[in-house]
């Protein structure tokens, strides 16, 4: 066996970075952005590119309404306000997630109660039920790393306890569960459109099938012209149309142009990325050290954000972090043990007692979350490449993972 690069052997791959580029910047995308620059750099209503993008996104997800925001975080904040959550209320949320799933609720003084994770990093009906408290009014789930949550049981749980259901679909643009697209199960859902499978560069979208929620989303993200023209003048909240609810979270027209171009290519994007995921699944099937973390295909379809891998410590002579370092030394620099997405339950923003004073945190012990600990301690990820010219990268990463695995396997 060839020696590992970290031990003096040759690198498996020596390709200059970056090793992941997205979106595909080609003449058609450049033309779409350039055309929009000449058309409008700022839209105050939905008559232009913003409305076109929102209509296309609603069609993509399969919901009647989509409202654009400047970020997924601001859209989740709007979701909290639309639901009428206030200090004293609580929301059940995943402990293993990116902080923005829960931080907007904490910002408003809503208590965040964290639930444990299954072996895909997701909450389940049982893990939510274990944390149910009298003041819980809503549940938010995140489809982690593209794997959809078990939504049939979660929907049933929320209905049985009369709880609102929110979906954070930031990792899951192409995901489905039981044949239904994620984002269609809850009362509202949010998609981040940063560097995700569908991107606008920076942005977010709130989707819903509820007329009232749609109009309130306008008030919490927009104001004046758009609200005055689109909100029912007989609604009790119409007097706020001119001012909105005090904030502006409009996305940029150039971002909408990128997003509209992406949505027009959605079938092609999905086919390419799903093919890459299938190849990784197949070629790592017999690897004893790292295995893909994917929900069974007969239950759900992956969202095509990244490929999650489970490191099997019992099968290796090194730790997870040592394995990552060895793979990076082979030239596979995007092999990653994520640090920003992790157990957030012990963060001061959430672990305080005084919900009105986030600047005066009280450190408390992190929740007892054995599923979260066992998942995050062995998880790592690689990209799902979207360019047709990325074949050399795909081959190199698979070769590097298999080489390192072969060298460290017990």
Q: What tens digit of pLDDT does each residue of 219-243 get?
A: 999 999 999 999 999 999 999 999 9
The CATH number assigned to the domain holding 61 equals 3.40.640.10
183 and 312, same domain (yes or no): no
Residue where a domain stops, chosen among 241, 261, 281: 261
pLDDT at 334: 98
* Distance (Å) of CA 332 to CA 322, 386, 392: 14, 17, 12
Residue 22 falls inside a structural domain:
no
67 and 110, same domain (yes or no): yes
Residue where a domain stops, chosen among 261, 279, 295: 261
Provide mean pLDDT across the span 248-261: 97
Helix (H) or strand (E) holding 201: none
pLDDT at 86 over 70: yes
271 and 354, same domain (yes or no): yes
pLDDT at 403 over 90: yes
Cβ neighbors of 409 (< 8 A, separation 6 or more) are 288, 289, 315, 316, 317
271 and 224, same domain (yes or no): no
pLDDT at 359: 46
271 and 237, same domain (yes or no): no
| pLDDT, tens only, 329-345 | 999 999 999 999 999 99
Contact 78, 247 (CB under 8 A): no
**How many domains does the chain contain in total?**
2
Residue where a domain stops, chosen among 261, 279, 298: 261
Cβ neighbors of 34 (< 8 A, separation 6 or more) are none
pLDDT at 385: 97
pLDDT at 10 over 80: yes
pLDDT at 348: 84
284 and 223, same domain (yes or no): no
Residue 215 falls inside a structural domain:
yes
Provide mean pLDDT across the span 57-66: 99
367: Cα separation from own chain's centroid: 23
| pLDDT, tens only, 343-382 | 999 898 887 666 555 544 455 556 689 999 999 999 999 9
| pLDDT, tens only, 167-210 | 999 999 999 999 999 999 999 999 999 999 999 999 999 999 99
- Block residue for tokens 């003096």: 8
242: Cα separation from own chain's centroid: 32
Instruction: Give pTM, 2 decimals.
Output: 0.96
pLDDT at 349: 86
Residue 14 falls inside a structural domain:
no
123 and 222, same domain (yes or no): yes
139 and 252, same domain (yes or no): yes
The vertex-292 CA angle with 150 and 204, nearest 5°, equals 55
Provide mean pLDDT across the span 49-70: 98
Give the closest residue to 405 by CA, choosing from 345, 387, 36, 397. Answer: 397
93 and 229, same domain (yes or no): yes
Provide mean pLDDT across the span 271-279: 98
Residue 15 falls inside a structural domain:
no
Backbone torsions φ then ψ of 190, nearest 5 degrees:
-130, 135
Give the closest residue to 260 by CA, choosing from 50, 43, 45. Answer: 50
pLDDT at 353: 62
Residue 334 falls inside a structural domain:
yes
pLDDT at 358: 52
pLDDT > 90 in the chain, percent = 91
Residue 135 falls inside a structural domain:
yes
Residue 13 falls inside a structural domain:
no
235 and 300, same domain (yes or no): no
210 and 154, same domain (yes or no): yes
pLDDT at 276 over 70: yes
| pLDDT, tens only, 239-250 | 999 999 999 999
Provide mean pLDDT across the span 319-327: 99
309 and 219, same domain (yes or no): no
The CATH number assigned to the domain holding 275 equals 3.90.1150.10
Q: Which domain does 330 fall in, by range?
A: 266-408
Residue 20 falls inside a structural domain:
no
């Amino acid at each position: 066996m060839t020696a590992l690069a970290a031990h003096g052997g040759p690198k498996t791959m020596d390709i200059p970075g970056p090793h992941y580029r997205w979106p595909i910047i080609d003449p058609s995308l450049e033309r779409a952005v350039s055309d929009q620059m000449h058309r409008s750099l700022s839209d105050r209503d939905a008559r232009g590119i913003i409305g076109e993008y929102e209509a296309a996104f609603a069609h993509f997800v399969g919901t009647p309404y989509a409202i654009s925001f400047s970020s997924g975080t601001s859209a989740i904040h709007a979701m909290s306000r639309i639901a009428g959550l206030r200090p004293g209320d609580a929301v059940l949320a995943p402990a293993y997630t990116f902080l923005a799933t829960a931080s907007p609720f904490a910002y408003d003084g809503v208590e965040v109660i964290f639930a444990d994770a299954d072996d895909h990093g997701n909450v389940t009906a049982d893990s939510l039920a274990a944390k149910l408290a009298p003041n819980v009014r809503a549940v938010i789930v995140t489809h982690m790393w593209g794997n959809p949550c078990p939504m049939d049981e979660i929907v049933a749980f929320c209905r049985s306890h009369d709880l609102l259901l929110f979906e954070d679909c930031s990792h899951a643009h192409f995901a489905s569960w039981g044949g239904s697209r994620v984002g269609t199960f809850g009362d509202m859902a949010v998609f981040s459109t940063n560097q995700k499978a569908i991107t606008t560069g920076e942005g977010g979208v709130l989707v819903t099938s509820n007329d009232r929620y749609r109009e309130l989303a306008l008030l919490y993200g927009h104001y004046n012209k758009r609200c005055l023209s689109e909100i029912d003048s007989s609604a009790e909240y119409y007097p706020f149309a001119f001012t909105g609810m005090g904030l502006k979270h409009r996305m940029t027209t150039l971002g909408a142009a990128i997003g509209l171009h992406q949505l027009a290519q959605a079938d092609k994007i999905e086919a390419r990325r799903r093919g890459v995921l299938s190849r990784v699944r197949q070629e790592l099937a017999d690897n004893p050290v790292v295995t893909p973390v994917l929900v069974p295909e007969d239950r759900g379809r992956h969202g095509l954000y990244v490929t999650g891998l489970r490191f099997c410590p019992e099968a290796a002579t090194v730790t997870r972090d040592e394995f990552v370092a060895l793979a990076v030394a082979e030239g596979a620099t995007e092999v990653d043990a994520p640090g920003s997405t992790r157990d957030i339950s012990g963060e001061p923003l959430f672990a305080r007692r005084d919900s009105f004073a986030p600047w005066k945190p009280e450190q408390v012990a992190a929740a007892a979350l054995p599923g979260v600990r066992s998942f995050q301690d062995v998880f790592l990820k690689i990209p799902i490449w979207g360019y047709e010219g990325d074949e050399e990268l795909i081959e190199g990463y698979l070769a590097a993972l298999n080489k390192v695995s072969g060298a460290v396997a017990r």
